[in-house]
Amino acid sequence: MQDLIIILNALYELTEVEEINFAKGLVLSYEDGNDLGLLKNGAELAFSENNATSDFLVSDRFQKRGDLENTYLQIFLDFLCDNESQVTLSIPEFRTLMNQVAPTEDQKTWSFKDLSHSLAKISSASDRFYLLRESILGINKDKSKALSDLVKFANFSKNSEALEELRKALMHLPNIKDFLNYFLKFLNLKTDRPVFHDLRKALSDIDISILVPALSHGQIQSKKWLLEEWSKIQDEPIDMSYVLGGWLGILPLMHFEKSYNLSKKFRNFDIDPKAIQFSERICKHLVQDDWKYKGVVMDLYEMNYELTEYETAKADGSMEKFVERADVIINTSCEHLDDFELWLSKIPFGTRLILQSNNFFAEPTHVNCVGSLQAFKEQAHLSDLQFSGTLDLNHYQRFMLIGIR
């Protein structure tokens, strides 16, 4: 389940779609066995379409009684009470429910029995509340089904195709791949953003473990930092950026999904054909949009940076030749270069470079780590240094330079 949390965190950083944070709350509650979290998040979903909002704080009436150790059922019903003006007027049966289960002055707790009994009285007249009853009664038996029932409850009167996909996703916990299949379809339907469609198709026939390392906290934060600092230096969008050793193409994807306007097009050059193939699948909407993104299998030591030539297959099977030059060259994998000086010598003078390295010496593939930001500056010896900085991550530091070769 930790892999799923990593993926959800990265998806939110890439797109800033709030529904992803909601799903993460459900998954974390599910993983921790936190029934309170499940029911609270389920309540939020169930009433979000009615514009009900709550921070789920225990209301004054509970605090005055000193009963702060409320069961999740109490807090759930308290949430409904606090939103009475926004919710119950549109759901007539709800007032009947609350009148039947509201505690008296000498009653400090609600029980499942109290709630299920009251719900049973009105469930025959309201299939909607039958689903709510089934969800609450099932929360301790089958969490994924209980969550599914909550989604049905939220969806009952709206016939939402998107919520139906979310329901299916929750039913498949803890299977990560099946969850993502339905959850990404939910996000695509909910937001109409093609990135979720492309991700879903790309993940349908690969091992999820391929994606997880590229979406780690360190990888995502490093790219987010790069885009933020780059945007402070550059005012107008350039025509072309090269990303060297760009792996799965997450940096260009983040650039476009977060609506940066730094470069009109990106090329990702990597020696790994599987990584390039996967990158073109998750960025398919960018590939199809006038080649805003293109992945190319090429060794960065063998590239001609003055004019880069390569061919690519088009959808109809024909080949198209590209002859391009970068306005900015990005290399966030300097720690992997066994001959950094040789690579740097191939870059034309006057080219803007964005470079990252780190001091994570424990990783065997990091053959060119630097011990400090100053050491990185000396290694790169840029003629015009426009930015230098350090990003502290969990177990290491990442260093970044922006400047002119």
- The separation between CA 370 and the C-alpha centre of its own chain, rounded to angstroms, equals 30
Strand partners, 266: 241, 293
What tokens appear for 213 in the block? 């390392």
What is the reported pLDDT for 140? Answer: 58
HEC string for 86-140: HHHHHCHHHHHHHHHHCCCCCCCCCCHHHHHHHHHHHHCCCHHHHHHHHHHHHCC
pLDDT for 18 equals 82
Task: Quote the CA–CA distance of 101 and 109 in Å, as a whole number.
Answer: 10
Start-to-end Cα distance in the chain: 44
pLDDT of 159 reads 46
Which candidate, 249, 254, 286, places its Cα nearest to that of 268?
Answer: 249
Q: Which residues pair with 384 in a beta bridge?
A: 404
pTM confidence score: 0.77
Strand order in the sheet with 352-358: 293-297, 263-270, 238-244, 328-331, 352-358, 397-404, 384-392
* CA 126 – CA 322 distance, rounded (Å): 63
Q: Give the pLDDT of residue 170.
A: 79
Residue of 130, 49, 118, 135 whose CA lies nearest to 90: 49
Residue 131 CB neighbours (<10 A) = 22
Looking at residue 150, its pLDDT comes to 63
Domain ranges within the chain, ordered by starting residue: 2-209, 216-404
Rg, the chain, Cα only: 26
In this prediction, residue 37 carries a pLDDT of 60
**Treating both helix axes as pointing N-terminal to C-terminal, what angle do 273-282 and 194-203 enclose, rounded to 10 degrees?**
140
Check residue 5 and give its pLDDT.
Answer: 93
Can you tell me the distance from the alpha carbon of 234 to that of 364, in angstroms, rounded to the nearest whole number? 35
d(CA 46, CA 53): 11
Sequence-distant (≥ 6) Cβ neighbours of residue 160 within 8 angstroms:
49
Alpha carbon distances (Å) from 300 to 42, 123, 169, 321 = 49, 66, 41, 19
Q: What is the pLDDT of residue 296?
A: 96
CATH topology of domain 216-404: Rossmann fold (3.40.50)
- Other C-beta atoms lying within 10 Å of the C-beta of residue 234: 17
Residues 357, 121: Cα–Cα separation, whole Å: 65
pLDDT for 139 = 58
pLDDT value of position 271: 95
Q: Distance between CA atoms of 111 and 157, rounded to whole angstroms?
A: 27
CB 376 within 8 A of CB 401: yes
pLDDT by position in tens, the chain (length 405)? 889 999 999 999 999 988 888 788 778 877 776 655 665 566 555 545 443 333 332 233 333 333 333 333 444 444 444 333 233 323 344 444 444 444 444 444 444 445 555 555 544 445 555 555 566 556 556 766 666 666 665 554 444 677 778 878 877 888 999 999 999 999 999 889 999 999 999 998 888 888 899 999 999 999 999 999 999 999 899 999 999 999 999 999 999 999 999 999 999 999 999 999 999 999 999 999 999 999 999 999 999 999 999 998 877 888 889 999 999 999 999 999 999 999 999 999 999 999 999 999 999 999 999 999 999 999 999 999 999 999 999 889 999 999 999
pLDDT of residue 365: 92
